[in-house]
């Protein structure tokens, strides 16, 4: 599992986005980035998290930051999810989970006694130069977007 510390440069990447473009993390230099990884579109906790970030977006943008969501879902799923919940930020498709592995969020999980590989819900706050400000791993959705805003 990849680990990096506060102050470290985070790994750069390029992924296809729900907006129809390819997005490269380093293209946001000069702005803070709220990079959140979530397991699956249209599941209760992931929907709540996305809607919480949507609702907090004016506060996030007022602090000079952008929001990017990443999951292993296909672009088609991301597009429907973004449209259904009016998500105003890009959702990136990491279907090969390469970026999730770079960030150490692709892990063996257990649910109902079954083991499987998947994304562990995590958020990374990245500064204007591409360095890690703060990370939240294995987080709870309730109140999380508010925590991110308060750290910004």
Q: What is the token pair recorded at 78? A: 């991301």
What is the C-alpha to C-alpha distance for residues 11 and 25, in angstroms, rounded to an integer?
9
Residue carrying the six token digits 């309730």:
142
46 is catalytic: yes
Give the 3-state secondary structure of 119-137: ECCEEEEECCCCEEEEEEE
Cα 82 to Cα 64: distance, rounded to the nearest angstrom: 22
Rounded Cα gap, residues 112 and 117, in angstroms = 14
What the block records as the tokens of 124 is 């990374």
C-alpha 3/C-alpha 108 separation (Å) is 16
Token pair of 147 as six digits: 């925590």
Q: Which of 25, 46, 65, 126 is catalytic?
A: 46
- By annotation, the residues acting in catalysis are 46
């Amino acid at each position: 599992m990849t680990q990096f510390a506060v102050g470290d440069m985070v790994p750069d990447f390029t992924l296809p986005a729900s907006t129809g473009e390819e997005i490269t993390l380093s293209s946001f230099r000069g702005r803070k980035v709220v990079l959140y990884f979530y397991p699956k579109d249209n599941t209760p906790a992931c929907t709540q998290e996305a809607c919480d970030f949507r609702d907090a977006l004016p506060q996030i943008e007022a602090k000079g930051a952008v929001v990017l969501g990443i999951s292993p879902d296909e672009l088609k799923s991301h597009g429907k999810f973004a449209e259904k919940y009016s998500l105003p930020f890009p959702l990136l498709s990491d279907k090969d989970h390469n970026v999730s592995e770079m960030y150490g969020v692709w892990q063996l999980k257990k649910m109902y006694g079954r083991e499987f590989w998947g994304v562990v819900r995590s958020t990374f706050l990245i500064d204007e130069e591409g360095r890690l400000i703060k990370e939240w791993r294995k987080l709870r959705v309730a109140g999380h977007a508010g925590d991110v805003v308060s750290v910004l």
